[in-house]
């Protein structure tokens, strides 16, 4: 699991990277992404966007030739070492495509060095776009994103990415360099970049986007021998794992908070060293 930070209870303070994590889009605020620092783009002007009360609904199904979506650069650099997570809550209602390597809804995340991943979502699977040959169907995993709002977390760590769906790993592979693309608009030259939407004239979709958040490593604080506190992203769920000595890691708790304050208290049942670590998801 990516993004692990270790705390040795009673011996060492936590080791972590200062957090710059934050919500990037909150549908509960009742506004569109373009009113929350995202750029909205519609190539033919046929896309429909509207707020449902808790999410933004984007429809490009009027014409397969339409491409539309939301893009932005992140408020700070996205460093693949030690890594970062982009968390989303969304539902893909419908999707159609006329080519096997295109999708009506795509997610693009590029780190500060412009390496990253583009994922395409169908109603029955998620797949990665290859960089060689450019933008062809690469690794895939079966998943149905139409039945409910799903929590996706895209984790980029080092040279690899992992996509989690509802806290379970779904798809993984190498990050890619798409800068060989020479078309317009060429977003693949943009560092610290996120795109959500339909970026092809060969597919269409109806998608509802409720939340987007950037999640970096939190700073952990030991409050006494058995209490752990950290500042996190409101609305996110972090996983606390424990290990006696150098034994195997087991999940102790899933910690959720609607504020930036997160905490966990460990019930001591053994003597000697005990390790805790916090991960997202």
Q: Which domain holds residue 257?
A: 5-19+219-279
pLDDT confidence of residue 270: 63
Which of 197, 215, 233 is at the close of a domain? 215
Per-residue pLDDT of 165-194, as tens digits, reads: 999 999 999 999 999 999 888 999 999 999
Q: Tell me how far apart the alpha carbons of residues 131 and 179 are, in angstroms, rounded to a whole number.
A: 9
User: Could you tell me which of 203, 111, 220 has the C-alpha nearest to residue 158?
Assistant: 111
- Co-location of 58 and 117 in the same domain: yes
- Co-location of 266 and 209 in the same domain: no
CATH number at residue 105: 2.60.120.200
Per-residue pLDDT of 253-277, as tens digits, reads: 999 999 999 999 988 766 678 888 8
Q: Which two tokens stand for residue 183?
A: 């078309």
Per-residue pLDDT of 203-215, as tens digits, reads: 999 999 999 999 9
Which of 176, 194, 215 is at the close of a domain? 215
User: Could you tell me which of 82, 85, 78 has the C-alpha nearest to residue 15?
Assistant: 82
Element holding 128 (H helix, E strand): strand 125-131
User: Could you tell me which of 101, 131, 137, 138 has the C-alpha nearest to residue 116?
Assistant: 131
How much is the mean pLDDT over the chain? 89
- Co-location of 73 and 128 in the same domain: yes
Element holding 14 (H helix, E strand): none
Judge whether residue 9 has pLDDT over 50: no
Per-residue pLDDT of 49-80, as tens digits, reads: 999 999 999 999 887 788 999 999 999 899 99
- Co-location of 58 and 190 in the same domain: yes
- Co-location of 26 and 15 in the same domain: no
pTM of this structure:
0.89
Partners of 58 in beta bridges: 49, 207
- Co-location of 132 and 38 in the same domain: yes
Burial of 104 (0-12, 13-18, 19+ CB in 10 A): buried
User: Could you tell me which of 105, 81, 239, 70 has the C-alpha nearest to residue 156?
Assistant: 81
CA distances from residue 45 to 57, 62, 224 in whole angstroms, order as listed? 16, 10, 58
Domain tally, the chain? 2
Contact 105, 227 (CB under 8 A): no
Q: Tell me how far apart the alpha carbons of residues 274 and 259 are, in angstroms, rounded to a whole number.
A: 28
- Co-location of 85 and 175 in the same domain: yes
Which of 165, 189, 215 is at the close of a domain? 215
Q: Tell me how far apart the alpha carbons of residues 257 and 203 are, in angstroms, rounded to a whole number.
A: 38
- Co-location of 63 and 94 in the same domain: yes
pLDDT class for 20, splitting at 50, 70, 90? low
- Co-location of 200 and 273 in the same domain: no
Contact 14, 226 (CB under 8 A): no
């Amino acid at each position: 699991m990516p993004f692990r930070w270790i705390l040795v209870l009673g011996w060492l303070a936590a080791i972590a990277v200062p957090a710059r994590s934050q919500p990037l889009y909150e549908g509960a605020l009742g506004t569109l992404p373009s009113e929350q620092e995202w750029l909205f783009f519609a190539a033919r002007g046929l896309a429909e966007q509207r707020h449902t009360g808790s999410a933004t609904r984007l429809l490009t199904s009027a014409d397969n030739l339409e491409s539309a979506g939301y893009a932005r650069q992140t408020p700070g650099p996205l460093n693949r070492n030690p890594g970062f997570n982009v968390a989303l809550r969304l539902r893909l209602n419908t999707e159609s495509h006329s080519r096997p390597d295109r999708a009506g809804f795509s997610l693009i995340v590029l780190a500060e060095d412009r390496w990253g991943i583009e994922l395409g979502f169908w109603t029955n699977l998620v797949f990665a776009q290859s960089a060689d040959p450019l933008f062809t169907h690469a690794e895939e995993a079966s998943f149905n994103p139409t039945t409910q709002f799903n929590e996706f977390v895209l984790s980029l760590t080092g040279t690899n990415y992992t996509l989690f769906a509802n806290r379970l790993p779904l798809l993984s592979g190498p990050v890619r360099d798409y800068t060989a693309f020479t078309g317009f608009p060429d977003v693949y030259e943009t560092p610290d970049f996120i795109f959500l939407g339909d970026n092809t004239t060969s597919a269409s979709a109806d998608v509802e986007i409720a939340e987007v958040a950037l999640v970096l490593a939190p700073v952990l604080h030991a409050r006494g021998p058995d209490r752990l506190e950290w500042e996190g992203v409101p609305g996110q769920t972090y996983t606390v794992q424990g290990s006696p000595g150098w034994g195997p890691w087991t999940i102790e708790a899933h910690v959720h908070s609607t504020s930036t304050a997160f905490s966990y208290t460990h019930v001591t049942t053994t003597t000697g060293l005990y390790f805790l670590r916090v991960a997202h998801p």
